C-alpha cells in the first residue's frame, strides 16, 4: 500500500507543478497566521463558515504542512488530497456567490488561481511527485 502511495513516474517536468502548488499553499498558509483578519479567521467569518478561529488555524496549518510536503515531493499524493479539498471548499463557498450575483465570466476571472490549484492538486494525486522528489528516492 505504501509503495502505491509514493510510486511516481520519472517525469522531470512534474517539479513545475509541485513548485507552483506547493509555493502557493505554503504562502497562503503562512498568510493565514500573519494576516488573520483578512486571510484567516476574519475571512472565514466574513463568508459565514462556522468556528472561524478554529478553521483559520486548521486550514492554515494544513496549507503550510502540505505545501512543504508538496515542494519536497514527500508523500506527494497524500499531501495533495487536503489541498484538493481546500480548493473545492474555497470554490464552493466563495465563487458560487460570485457566479449567482455577477455571472459566469466574473466568476471565472476571480477563480483562476483556485482552478489552477485545484487542477494542480488533482494532477499530483494522479501522477505523484515525479523524478526530482523525495518519493522517487524512497
pLDDT digits (tens, 9 = 90+) for 121-138: 999 999 999 999 999 998
What gap in Å lies between CA 67 and CA 28, rounded to an integer?
9
What gap in Å lies between CA 85 and CA 128, rounded to an integer?
17
For the chain, give every domain's residue range. Answer: 12-128
Question: What are the respective helix, strand and coil percentages of the chain, to the nearest 5?
Answer: 80, 0, 20
CA 27 vs CA 11, 38, 66, 68, 69: distances in Å: 25, 14, 11, 10, 13
The percent of residues above 90 in pLDDT, for the chain, comes to: 91
In eight-state DSSP terms, residue 133 is S
* pLDDT surpasses 90 at 38: yes
Q: By C-alpha distance, which of 87, 35, 80, 26 is closest to 95? A: 87
What gap in Å lies between CA 36 and CA 125, rounded to an integer?
29
> What cell was used for 44?
472565514
What gap in Å lies between CA 117 and CA 92, rounded to an integer?
14
What gap in Å lies between CA 111 and CA 43, rounded to an integer?
16
Mean pLDDT over 111-116 rounds to 96
The CA-based diameter of the chain, rounded to the nearest angstrom, is 49
Q: Which of the four pLDDT bands, split at 50, 70 and 90, describes residue 2?
A: confident
Amino acid at each position: 500500500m505504501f509503495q502505491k502511495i509514493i510510486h511516481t513516474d520519472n517525469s522531470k517536468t512534474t517539479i513545475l507543478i509541485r513548485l507552483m502548488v506547493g509555493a502557493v499553499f505554503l504562502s497562503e498558509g503562512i498568510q493565514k497566521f500573519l494576516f488573520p483578519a483578512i486571510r484567516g479567521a476574519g475571512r472565514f467569518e466574513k463568508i459565514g463558515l462556522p468556528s472561524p478561529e478554529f478553521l483559520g488555524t486548521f486550514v492554515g496549518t494544513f496549507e503550510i504542512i502540505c505545501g512543504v510536503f508538496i515542494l519536497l515531493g514527500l508523500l506527494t499524493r497524500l499531501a495533495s488530497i487536503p489541498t484538493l479539498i481546500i480548493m473545492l471548499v474555497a470554490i464552493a463557498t466563495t465563487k458560487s456567490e460570485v457566479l449567482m450575483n455577477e455571472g459566469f465570466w466574473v466568476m471565472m476571472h476571480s477563480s483562476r488561481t483556485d482552478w489552477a490549484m485545484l487542477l494542480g492538486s488533482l494532477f499530483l494525486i494522479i501522477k505523484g511527485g515525479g523524478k526530482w522528489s523525495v518519493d522517487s528516492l524512497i
